[in-house]
Chain A
């Protein structure tokens, strides 16, 4: 009897503490990432770090990227496309408020899109908006976007962080005090250290599960390792030291998520500089490269080999790696056929990321094996942009192109690859004008094959995106269809 009482007491005490435990489920999270945003306006800088913190957390667009890269409705609840494919009529979600309490209406959408495409716009992706002829307010909940020619990518373009909806009332201070419509509102920024977000209790959609999110910025890979190991941070998105991942995988405190990104890592080639202007020479380079050796040596095994400029996780991806399979003998033969039996010398200019610096050394050795000598120079980003990207003063370089679905850069003859193929340009024009998903898919496949067969660049691998997190955290994005650390669905499992 007495024992029974004690037992009941114990059980009720346990139940009580368990329910208290539930009531106190962790609702705060500290997420680390490598780069700090320079400022907080996603619509006027190319820095991926801005989107990483704010995309979908604080700011939302008419459409948005889902975790798998699909295009989902955002602030636009639905849309209708006119017969001629030129007018998109967006129906907006009702009851949407900005974090300062003002209503989000069609006027704000018009303001945002007009601002992005204006003459003095500072939007880093202004090209997303070319072709928009007018933006009209139909009623407070409806907005019509008219294009000069049909553009099958419009819904995709509007999902970018550069196309989020902002309000005229709060635009002046957006760089330090971002006011959006998202599930979190901005609360504090200690420059050089962290950005704090708090739950938006007036959110129009599914409310966030977390109350507070702190983003910390840790650039040094060793410091990143220490911060995760010491559990100073709960998650590190884009963990910078792949060599440490096996250690986290073996530790039950942590989970390691290795996702894919939109980053095609390529050996960019100056298609106008002799002897690289000869397709046969470029083909020889492609066959001289052992992709797996680069992935293993430079990325500790993380990365997916690619054979063209397209993300392997995309449903329209075609695996074309066989076109440029590792075959040094074939490579030497091709070089001889092209008139360079003894090889040649060119430059290899490397930007700072480790995939480029480490990968560059390996590629230089592989090219040397077939007779191609490279003069390696290490550049800072700003120098790289000036010399290689804008000045086109290079033979070869290694860089990851992280913009989503950016195969269109090959249709720009003045782009730094200087690939000028009218056939490809025509193909891309057709693609842009096409709205039918099936036909678009077919054209995209053709485009991939054309690039692969022209050996425009050396296609190396798709950049992996490792996230290390506390084992109890759920709902993190694994892949990076766009730079984002979307916290809206993240929670602690008890």
Chain B
């Protein structure tokens, strides 16, 4: 087990180094001078040059990569070109919105998907199964930004139960913060829950067809006992994979939802920074997301090993 973990950790660090090089180079070749963007149409050449020097845009690509990557190692993400504040602080602030939002959505989607998937699988072919399949089909098909707007229309504009968007900050209290994240979390969770329900259902159906289930039933366990004691745990592996993917997606991919609800999250920060050519912010956030994806994958791998002891022994 220890050997397995060490091997995974090594490949994890190599991936991070490779990602940092690719991200840096990819963004450095993007056209657009951050100084020109900031100073606009009337700026004079000497003014632009003064700003470029202050932003550290005058060195060679190699020098700039080393200073950026070196900073990352000690947790220093540099200073934003446009906001002129440390990037780490900005990311930290935004994480306080995006991370709870992702967790909230993930929790909702799991709470819906697990029971729904198990229920549908255990009643295969019934009307209940058909309706779960129908609803999830719809859930996968509906774009989440459209669903988000629909919810704003109903719950914010007509019923006035929620704000149309914005985030009061956790200073305003746990309840206020959670309330502000509720509609966005539901919008994000809906398609995720639909996918997860379908995966849960089909994975469970596969498992239920296996020999050991028949054996268990032959030994006298009831249908329910077999389901809960043997089938569900074995059906979890593909579900965990999807969950892991969904978490990284939720953290990074909430850009549209964060725009619809004007939440000050990580996705919106990336969006703004790209259009403002604030490359150092884009690079750092993307790097952080890569890190999150890799760590989540690592955690999912560990979870596989926990769910299925065979995986542990094989390696």
* A and B: interacting chains: yes
Q: A residues near B, CB below 8 A? A: 36, 38-39, 44-47, 119-127, 175-176, 190-194, 216-220, 222-223, 226-227, 229-230, 232, 352, 380-383, 385-387, 389-390, 401, 403, 406
Are B40 and A382 in touch, CB under 8 angstroms? no
CB contacts (< 8 Å) of B263 on chain A: these are 192
Known: A38-B38, A45-B38, A192-B268. A227 touches B82 (CB 8 A): no
The reply to whether B38 and A124 form a contact with Cβ atoms under 8 Å apart is yes
Q: Which of B84, B265, B277 contacts A382 (CB 8 A)?
A: B277
Q: Are A382's CB and B31's CB within 8 A?
A: yes
User: Which of B50, B90, B157 is close to A191, meaning CB atoms less than 8 Å apart?
Assistant: B90
From B62-70, B105-113, B136-144, B158-166, give the one contacting chain A.
B158-166
Nearest-CB residue, chain A, relative to B159: A230
Contact A390/B36 with A192-B265, A230-B160 known, Cβ cut-off 8 Å: yes
Given A227-B164, A382-B275: A389 and B41 within 8 A (CB)? yes
In the complex, what's the smallest C-beta–C-beta distance from B258 to chain A, in angstroms?
A: 9
The 4 nearest A-B residue pairs measured at CB? A46-B40, A382-B32, A192-B264, A38-B82
Minimum distance in angstroms from A223 CB to a CB of chain B: 5
Q: Nearest-CB distance from B51 to chain A (Å)?
A: 5
Instruction: Across the interface, name the chain B residue whose C-beta is closest to A220.
Output: B259
Chain B residues with CB below 8 A from A47, complex form: 38, 40
Q: What's the least CB distance linking B157 to chain A, in Å? A: 5
Task: Give the residues from 42 to 98 in chain B that come closer than 8 angstroms, CB to CB, to chain A.
Answer: 42-44, 46-47, 50-51, 54, 82-85, 90, 93-94
- A226 x B46 contact (CB < 8 A): no
A273 to B259, CA, bound (A): 40
**Residue in B47, B82, B94 whose CB lies within 8 Å of A121:** B47
* Residues of B with C-beta under 8 A to A36: 272
CB distance A219 to B264 under 8 Å? Answer: no
When the two chains form their complex, are residues A380 and B160 in contact, meaning their CB atoms are under 8 A apart? no
Q: How far is the CA of A127 from the CA of B45 in the complex (A)?
A: 11
Q: Which of B33, B34, B51, B165 contacts A223 (CB 8 A)?
A: B165
18 A–B contacts, CB within 8 A, in A order:
A46-B40, A47-B40, A122-B39, A123-B47, A124-B39, A124-B47, A126-B47, A176-B84, A191-B93, A193-B166, A193-B167, A193-B169, A220-B259, A223-B259, A226-B165, A229-B157, A352-B275, A380-B32
- Determine if B32 and A385 form an interchain contact, defined as CB atoms under 8 angstroms apart: yes
Task: State which residues 144-166 of B face A: CB under 8 Å.
Answer: 149, 152-153, 156-157, 160, 163-166
Assembly CA distance A117 to B259 (angstroms): 39
Tally of contacts, chain A with chain B, CB under 8 A: 153
Neighbouring A residues of B39 by C-beta, 8 Å: 45-46, 122, 124
A46 touches B38 (CB 8 A): yes
Q: Give the complex CA separation of A226 and B84 in angstroms.
A: 31
Contacts of A389 in B (CB 8 A): 36, 41
B35 to chain A: closest residue by CB: A122
Minimum CB–CB distance from B94 to chain A (whole Å) comes to: 7
Given contacts A389-B41, A403-B41, contact A223 B83 (CB under 8 A): no
B: residues with CB less than 8 A from A are 31-34, 36-44, 46-47, 50-51, 54, 82-85, 90, 93-94, 149, 152-153, 156-157, 160, 163-167, 169, 259-265, 268-269, 272, 275-277
Nearest A-chain residue to B51, judged by Cβ: A122
A383 touching B47, Cβ below 8 Å: no
Asked if A191 meets B83 with Cβ closer than 8 Å, knowing A226-B165, A380-B32, the reply is: yes
* Set A121, A229, A232: member contacting B166, Cβ < 8 A: A232
Return chain B residues, CB-CB under 8 Å to A390. Answer: 33, 36
Which of A122, A194, A226 lies in contact with B153, CB distance below 8 A? A226
Residues of A close to B261: CB separation below 8 A: 223
Q: Is the CB of B40 within 8 A of A124?
A: yes
In Å, the complex CA distance between A216 and B261 comes to: 12
In the assembly, what is the distance between CA of A193 and CA of B153, in Å?
21
Chain B residue at minimal CB-CB distance from A35: B272
Chain A contacts of B165 at CB under 8 A? 218, 223, 226-227, 232
Q: Which residues of B contact A218 (CB under 8 A)?
A: 165, 262
Give bound CA distance, A218 to B259, whole Å: 8
B259 contacts A401, C-beta separation under 8 Å: no
Closest Cβ neighbor of B44 among chain A residues: A126
Q: How far is the CB of B48 from chain A (nearest CB, A)?
A: 9
Question: Which residues does chain A contribute within 8 Å of B160, judged by CB atoms?
Answer: 230
A230 with B163, Cβ < 8 A, contacts A192-B265, A220-B262 known: yes
A200 to B139, CA, bound (A): 52
| Minimum CB–CB distance for A194 against chain B, Å | 8
Contacts of B44 in A (CB 8 A): 126-127
Q: Which residues of A contact B149 (CB under 8 A)?
A: 222, 226
Asked whether, in the complex, the Cβ of A230 is within 8 Å of the Cβ of B156, the reply is yes
Contact of B262 among A46, A223, A387, A403 (CB under 8 A): A223
Determine the distance from Cα of A192 to Cα of B95 in the docked complex, in whole angstroms. Answer: 12
